[in-house]
Chains A and B, each alone.
Chain A
Amino acid sequence: MRRCVIVDDNERFLAVARSSLERGGLEVVATATTTTEALEKIDALKPDVVLVDIALGSESGLDLVRRIVAATPSGPHVVLISTHREEDVAELVSGSPAAGFVWKADLSARAVRDVVAAGDQ
């Protein structure tokens, strides 16, 4: 699991997240700030994992997760991220087909791998 796409509408976070993940050996092949852009890039680049912010500006990250999974059921692992703590959004995460959740402040390649591994079990 090496190639990753991040979907978030905050440019500064995208930059920080890219450096954090790449230090851990997770290549960020693309970033996207909207649902449409994200779906296009995922379709073109076929990443192993996609990180999706729950709050995508006026769009819903949860909707995007459902669309990714619906488009390619055997496709990338999807991990939800948010500035909210896990306990605040647990209901949303468990209700979505995402593999798991990582708090944005705790984001790292290792955290993503752990969540995916836990989701695979």
Chain B
Amino acid sequence: MWWRPEISETSGPLTGRPLLRRWAGGAVNGLVLVAVATGLVWLLNRQLPPRGLLVVYLLAVLPVAIRWGSGPAVLVAALGVVTFVLVIAPPQSEGPALVALGVFVATAVVVAGLAAGLRRSVHESRELAGEQSALRRVATLVAEGVPAPELFEAVSREVGLLCNADLVRLERYEPDGTVTGVGSWGRVPVRLPVGTRIELDGISVAREVRRTGGTARISSFVGEDGTVAAEARELGIRSSIGCPISVDGHLWGVVVASSKNAKAFPAGTEARIQRLTDLVATAVTNAEARAELRRNAEEQAALRRVATLAARGDADPSPVFAIVADEVRTLLGADCTSVLRFESDGSATYLAARGWRDPNRRKPGSKWFPEEPSVIENVRLTGRSARLDYSDVTVIQELPPSLRAEGIRSAVASPIAVESRLWGSIGVASRTGRLPADTEQRLIAFTEIVATAIANTESRAQLASSRARVIAAADATRRRLERDLHDGAQQRLVSLALDLRNTQAEVPAELTGLSAAVGRLADDVTEVLDQLRELSRGIHPAILSEGGLGPALRTLARRSPVPVDLTVRLDSRYRDAVEVAAYYVASEALTNAVKHADADHVEILAEERDGALHLLVADDGGGGADQTRGSGLTGLHDRVESLGGTMRVSSPVGAGTRIEVNLPLRRP
């Protein structure tokens, strides 16, 4: 529409140059219109009385009033009336002309006011429409869940266009007092790219917003210090406004709009920006909720992995420590982790460590000695989680020795309590900044699993050692029984038998009956001796104590009714429990082969290899040996396991039985 002015002309404030342009435009156009009106009046003057024609000049006044305002219109009204009086008017027309001038001026003021109001409401409705569509665009992005950087860029752009700024930055407040740029848009080259951390050391809108918690406005950076002021001066920024972004009631960040124009942002701009930032808050809440969900899922998965390993209850829990160190480091975003066991002398032993610059100091089995200030020491002393912040430490000697070369800024450790006894600690450390406040809480989930794994392992170890003790005690009893039989009954019977032979030899030759009777007695005693021998051999093979495993196995092989192919590669004697276990396995396997498997041939191999005693018994019998049916094999299994060894039995029906035993020679 012809009366609709360009936004740039009216939206700009009434500063010097547009005012001059307005008056000049009104005057020039008014002059032309007055000339046209005068021409028209001159033509009409031939037919009509001149006094009524004065009203024609309204045609010049009204457009000027609408387009250029009341001032130029008043000027045009005066010009029109003067022109009429000088060029057209008959004598004595000054009175009516003055009246007409009054009417013209009043009309000009009213019409100009109406036109200005109309223009203002059109402008406002355009602005509102612009803001509404900006809000809609941002809301759509939020609803689509676009990645945060994309959303932040979009919001920066919308704010910039909406309030006609030269530069817009979206910044997030960090716990350490700085802000990080997360989005920006500008008509000027952006000097601080997204991701830059800015110290709020001098004047800045961000600092004001954080201080007041509300909107802020700065209209001059002249003579100010600091990063932000320096950037502003370099870009020619003269005014800035900022609006807070609050997420869940906490100040999360700020939107800062800046302009080279010192009076760029009219009152109410903050309110318009605020409506957009509310959407940012929603998006951040959503994104954080999603991140939290993902983090929870990752944490659950990590815990499951660790728990699975721990639940296997292996005799050696060190893989659990290693995986815990790995998972904790990844999950908590720490740079370094350590798992330690506390010792009774106040020191500790490293079980696993990851990410340290000096890994040698923290190899599994390495010692840790009490030092201060240290989270590990604090856990050791209090039995509770501990946290230390080293970021303010300037003198290296204030750090504990183990951290001096590590560049650690923040450390947290939590206790591992096994059956309510302080057993050890898991520690994490960061080189970049403070570890999050929930670190302790999240560590505890892991320390609990480690504690369970240790409790399992310890109870297994206790079970194994108590089983070993029971078996060893039974063995000792059998050995003593065998020895008592040997030293007592057998020894006396042997002497008796020999004595009877001596007596028989002393009997005079003519007493043949007596001699024979004594001979029978001697034979009887010998028979009893043989029975006793069988009994004693079943209790404990004397050959094993006297000669060791090699001779004992050879004796077994020689006595066996089935041919035995025996290979013995043993150099020395081993501890009783190992020799007895190996002997019983061979003896039981041989008995099975003969009695149940109907074997024709048995192979026995015994050798010392890699710090363990290996025993193999294989027969060519019917197979199908069942370990679960309370056979002698079950007891042997227990015996072998109690020594930390392994026993494998393979006995497919029809394909022979193969028993392999591995007994560690070092005491578990």
Interface residues of A (CB under 8 A from B): 10, 12-13, 16-17, 19-20, 23, 54-55, 60, 62, 83-85, 87-92, 95, 104-105, 107-108
Q: Is the CB of A87 within 8 A of B559?
A: yes
Q: With A and B bound together, what is the CA distance between A111 and B490 in angstroms?
A: 21
Among A55, A85, A107, the residue within 8 A (CB) of B530 is A85
Q: Is the CB of B546 within 8 A of A105?
A: no
Q: With A and B bound together, what is the CA distance between A66 and B240 in angstroms?
A: 105
Q: Is the CB of A20 within 8 A of B502?
A: yes
Q: Is the CB of B494 within 8 A of A104?
A: yes
Closest-by-CB residue of B relative to A15 is: B495
Q: Is the CB of B537 within 8 A of A88?
A: yes
Among A19, A54, A83, the residue within 8 A (CB) of B490 is A83
Q: With A and B bound together, what is the CA distance between A37 and B416 in angstroms?
A: 62
On chain B, the residues within 8 Å of A89 by CB distance are 542-543, 546-547
For the complex of A and B, the 4 pairs showing the least CB-CB separation, nearest first, are: A91-B551, A105-B497, A104-B494, A92-B547
Q: With A and B bound together, what is the CA distance between A85 and B526 in angstroms?
A: 11
Interface assignment of B479: CB less than 8 Å from any CB of chain A = no
Q: How far is the CB of A85 from chain B (nearest CB, A)?
A: 6
Interface assignment of B529: CB less than 8 Å from any CB of chain A = yes
Q: Is the CB of A88 within 8 A of B542?
A: yes
CB under 8 Å from chain A, chain B span 452-493: 486-487, 490-493
Interface residues of B (CB under 8 A from A): 486-487, 490-495, 497-499, 501-502, 505, 525-526, 529-530, 533, 537, 542-543, 546-547, 550-552, 554-555, 558-559
Q: How far is the CB of A16 from chain B (nearest CB, A)?
A: 5
Known: A89-B543, A89-B546. A84 touches B551 (CB 8 A): no
Q: With A and B bound together, what is the CA distance between A105 and B490 in angstroms?
A: 10
On chain A, the residues within 8 Å of B525 by CB distance are 105
Known: A16-B502, A62-B546, A105-B526. A10 touches B551 (CB 8 A): no
On chain A, the residues within 8 Å of B498 by CB distance are 13, 16-17, 20, 104-105, 107
Q: Is the CB of B542 within 8 A of A12?
A: no
Q: Is the CB of B529 within 8 A of A105?
A: yes
Closest-by-CB residue of B relative to A19 is: B502
On chain B, the residues within 8 Å of A91 by CB distance are 543, 547, 550-552, 554-555, 558
Q: Besides the contacts A17-B498, A84-B543, what 4 more A-B pairs have beta carbons closer than 8 Å?
A: A23-B502, A88-B542, A91-B550, A105-B498
Q: Is the CB of A84 within 8 A of B495?
A: no
Q: With A and B bound together, what is the CA distance between A19 and B543 in angstroms?
A: 29
Q: Is the CB of A16 within 8 A of B551?
A: no
Q: With A and B bound together, what is the CA distance between A10 and B530 in angstroms?
A: 20
Between-chain CB contacts (< 8 Å), 12 pairs:
A12-B495, A16-B499, A55-B542, A62-B546, A87-B559, A88-B533, A88-B537, A88-B542, A91-B547, A91-B552, A95-B547, A105-B501
Among A13, A54, A62, A95, the residue within 8 A (CB) of B494 is A13
Closest-by-CB residue of B relative to A60 is: B546
Q: Is the CB of B547 within 8 A of A62?
A: yes
Known: A10-B495, A13-B491, A105-B497. A90 touches B555 (CB 8 A): yes
Q: How far is the CB of B549 from chain A (nearest CB, A)?
A: 11
Q: Is the CB of B495 within 8 A of A95?
A: no
Q: How far is the CB of B383 from chain A (nearest CB, A)?
A: 51
Q: How far is the CB of A61 from chain B (nearest CB, A)?
A: 8
Name which of A13, A55, A85, A91 has the most chain B CB atoms within 10 A of its CB: A91
Among B491, B502, B533, B550, the residue within 8 A (CB) of A10 is B491
Q: Is the CB of B501 within 8 A of A108?
A: yes
Closest-by-CB residue of A relative to B499 is: A16
Q: With A and B bound together, what is the CA distance between A60 and B31 in angstroms?
A: 143
Q: With A and B bound together, what is the CA distance between A12 and B497 in angstroms?
A: 12
Name which of A16, A19, A95 has the most chain B CB atoms within 10 A of its CB: A16
Among A20, A60, A83, A87, the residue within 8 A (CB) of B486 is A83
Q: With A and B bound together, what is the CA distance between A90 and B555 in angstroms?
A: 8
On chain B, the residues within 8 Å of A87 by CB distance are 555, 558-559
Known: A16-B495, A83-B491, A104-B494. A92 touches B543 (CB 8 A): yes
Q: With A and B bound together, what is the CA distance between A71 and B490 in angstroms?
A: 32
Q: Is the CB of A54 within 8 A of B546?
A: yes
Closest-by-CB residue of B relative to A13 is: B495
Q: Is the CB of A85 within 8 A of B546?
A: no
On chain B, the residues within 8 Å of A16 by CB distance are 495, 498-499, 502
Q: How far is the CB of B122 from chain A (nearest CB, A)?
A: 119
Q: With A and B bound together, what is the CA distance between A105 and B492 in angstroms?
A: 10
Q: How far is the CB of B281 from chain A (nearest CB, A)?
A: 88
On chain B, the residues within 8 Å of A19 by CB distance are 502
Q: How far is the CB of B473 from chain A (nearest CB, A)?
A: 20
On chain A, the residues within 8 Å of B558 by CB distance are 87, 90-91
On chain B, the residues within 8 Å of A92 by CB distance are 543, 546-547, 551
Name which of B493, B499, B526 has the most chain A CB atoms within 10 A of its CB: B499
Q: With A and B bound together, what is the CA distance between A84 and B532 in angstroms?
A: 10
Q: Is the CB of A105 within 8 A of B554?
A: no
Q: With A and B bound together, what is the CA distance between A88 and B486 in angstroms?
A: 13
On chain A, the residues within 8 Å of B533 by CB distance are 84-85, 88
Q: With A and B bound together, what is the CA distance between A113 and B543 in angstroms?
A: 26
Q: Is the CB of A55 within 8 A of B486?
A: yes
Q: With A and B bound together, what is the CA distance between A83 and B498 in angstroms?
A: 11
On chain A, the residues within 8 Å of B551 by CB distance are 91-92, 95
